[in-house]
Every structure is written in C-alpha cells, then in structure tokens.
Homo-oligomer: A and B are copies of this chain.
Amino acid sequence: MTEPGFSDIAAAAERLRGHAVRTPLLEAPLLNEQIGGRVLVKAENLQLTGSFKFRGAFNKISQLDAAARKRGIVAYSSGNHAQGVAAAARYLETPAVIVMPEDAPAVKLDNTRAWGAEVVTYPRHGADREMIALDIARDQARTVIPPYDDPHIIAGQGTVGLEITEQAGERGVSLDHIVICCGGGGLTAGAAIALAERLPGTAIHTAEPEGWDDTKRSLETGTRQRIEEVTPSLCDALLASTPGELTFAINNRLVTSGFAVSEEDVGRSMALAHRYLKIVLEPGGAAALAAVTSGKLDVAGKSVAVVASGGNVDHTVFCDMLSRFGT
C-alpha cells in the first residue's frame, strides 16, 4: 500500500463536495474562559451518519469500477464505519454487507440497517471480524472496505483536517495544537497529512481511552504496540488493539504525542459539550475534547482544534454519563 499524499486529500474533498457535510468548527466563549485557551471543536457528530466515517467510505467506494460496485461491498465495524459505509453504498448504489459486534450500541445497529445494509453480527471478543468479512468477500466476490488501513479511506478522513485548516484560517486563528480521537488511526493519519501541508507549525496529538492507548504506546516506542488485555470501555468507536500498518507509518512521522483519557475525563467532556456547545457526543467522539478539558494538554493562552469525531450514542449511556459527570 502506498501512503496517500496531500493531493489525494484535495481530490477526496472534490469527490465529497455536495455529498458530505462541511461540518462547523464550533466555539463557546464561556468554555474557553474555563479552560484559559481557545478551543475550536470540529463537529463531525453533525456529519451525515453522525461521524466522520462517511467521508472515507464515500471516497473509497466512489472509486470502484462499475463491475465491482455491482458485485457489492463488505465491511466490518463497531458501528460508525458501518453507518458510513452503508450510507455511502446507498448513495453510490452498491449493495453492502456489514459485519458488526452483537453488542454494538442499538442506535448504530438500527441505523446501519436503516441505511439499507445487510448486517451480520458476531460476538465482540469471541470471533475475528476481519476473517468473517474476508470470507464473505471471497464467497460473494465483494470488495472489502477496510475501516482505516487504506489510502483512500485515509484520504477521505483527511478532509476533516483540510476543512479545519480552512475554517481556522477564515476565523483568523493560528492553531498551536490539534487533538484527534484515535482508534486504528485513519482519521489521525489523514488529518495529519493535511495539517502538515497547510499548518506545519501545529502540534498534532491523538486521544485514546485508557487501556486502549496502543497508538500512544506505539508513538512512544516508535514501533507498533499491541494491547493484549481487554479493558471495558464505553468508547466503542476507539477500541482498536493495534495501530494500522499504513496509518502508523504516517502517524509515527507526523504526530507529536498521544494522550490516554479516563472514563471520567470523557464523561466530563460529554457534559461540557452538552452544556456549552449544545451537541451530542458519543464517548469515543469526546476523547479529544477530554484531553483538553481534563488538562492533560495544557492550552493556557493557546489555540487548539479538537475533532469531535462522532455522536452515535444511545440516550441511556449518554444520560448516564451526564448524570455521573455533569454539573
């Protein structure tokens, strides 16, 4: 696999024009005051399907030839990639099968089906979802749409970073930092390529849940580390056990440092997003904001962009987090 370059992200942005939402870069002055810096929140929860994943899926599927689109696609996902692929497949008129853990949030399972995809479930910790998807791909001659370790997926997600550079520029803000929620690293890699090209002075950071900080550990050692122990986490969107090969090659070069955030950090950032930004973030989508609101990244006197990567959360989990960590 070859690494995507900035031109691939610019081309993805053209493909996505009129299909993906140019999500707003939100800011709450009263939250800024609490933090002592300026926080710009890229609200990808407002993206079609409630997360950034539509971008990469659409960029990838739109480049399949007519014969491949007719045969169909298959993907595996904890839920956000599932919905992104299902929606992109529908707009691009290709039949989709999605392999999902049976305990994925109900909103993610329901919405994936509502977008018209066929959902195949599996027990989260008892089966290899990638193998299930590869079997389906082979048996039915479908194209696999991988969740992150793919140049077209990375380029599509990178449009988030490209838009942030444009929107910060429109606002006259010079970004000192950007923090990105990180699972397999596709969003981080794509955004990092865009930032490195357009705003080379901005420090790039990842945010992961405690116990699933494989990218942080890999950045610290310079080699891909694997999480062996399964820690319970509400950040279902970020539970990759090791960075992608392609994504880590990029991130190891471009990312400054990684943060691991606790459940309390995440819950507090969800509550702050509710209170000051009036948006719904899922736990995994609130990790980057949590790295800032918890003080793990000190932004006193600085400007920081955080990617709020998704908002697909059942209201029971959402409200449980707000009741525990809201003020």
Instruction: Using CB atoms and an 8 Å cutoff, list the residues of chain A in contact with chain B.
Output: 21, 23-24, 26, 29-30, 33, 45-46, 48, 50, 87, 107, 111, 114-115, 271, 274-275, 277-281, 311-312, 315-316, 318-319, 322-323, 326
**Bound CA–CA A30/B21 (angstroms):** 15
Min CB distance A45 to B, Å, is 4
**Bound CA–CA A24/B26 (angstroms):** 11
Assess A274 versus B315: contact at CB under 8 Å? Given A30-B115, A111-B30. yes
B315 x A326 contact (CB < 8 A): yes
**Bound CA–CA A26/B46 (angstroms):** 8
A48 x B26 contact (CB < 8 A): no
Q: Which 6 A-B pairs have the closest CB atoms?
A: A278-B311, A319-B319, A45-B278, A315-B322, A278-B280, A315-B326
B24 x A48 contact (CB < 8 A): no
Min CB distance A294 to B, Å, is 19
Min CB distance A84 to B, Å, is 13
A278 x B30 contact (CB < 8 A): no
In the bound complex, residues from chain B placing their C-beta under 8 Å from that of A312 are 278
**Bound CA–CA A33/B275 (angstroms):** 30
